[in-house]
Amino acid sequence: MNRPVLVIGNRNYSSWSLRPWLLLRQFGVEFDEVRLALDAPDFAAQALRHSPTGKVPALRDGALAVWDSLAICEYANERWLDGNGWPADLHRRALARAAAAEMHSGFIALRTQLPMNSRRRPDAYRWDAAAQRDIDRVQALWRGLRRDHGAGGDFLFGGFGIVDAMFAPVAIRFDGYGVTVDDTAAAYMQALFALPALRQWRQAAEQESERVAATDALCRPA
């Protein structure tokens, strides 16, 4: 049987690619990988070979092509994870999906002003009040989920799952931009960073040679 193929962008910059990659790798799903450089002149043409949107990530499983990070995670959950990507309890599963969907569709100021850059180290760059409101909301969400549903593990609903994969790029952003976080957020981020799969992703990101100028420019003090 042929293994599924996950098409991703640069590890350093592609937050959407990280999410399904981390889920699959952390759950031990074997897959092949195609990496496309986001700033390559032929990126769109290459991506259209795998996804009708011309974007990454995309998953090919035989003749089936699935695009969008959350859709890929949902498919993987049914195809390979035996449903273990979400909490077993109906109410907790609904809350986990709501949190994942909020990340998927929201936090625009945070995503725009603190773009994914795994190699980044904190400096004098700062963001505006809209991004800070997003940062505050993320931490309030993490606090509430860890307090009410995190027993039995270090993640938002105890064990690692799809909702944690959705927030993993935010932890990288908080770390790289020097965001001040509360104790709950700090502990949760360390749990994510300790995952073998996330360590592998970040180590590979350090070795990438490509640069996205607009994102790297934010490394300079404002």
Q: What is the mean pLDDT of each run of 10 residues along the chain (222 residues)?
A: 93 97 98 94 92 95 96 98 98 98 98 97 96 98 98 98 98 98 98 98 95 81 49
Q: How many helices (H) and strands (E) does the chain have?
A: 10, 4
DSSP state letter for 153:
S
Tell if the pTM clears 0.85, that is, is over it. yes
**What pLDDT shows up at residue 221?**
52
Cα–Cα distance measured from residue 44 to residue 198, given in angstroms and rounded to the nearest whole number: 27
In this prediction, residue 211 carries a pLDDT of: 87
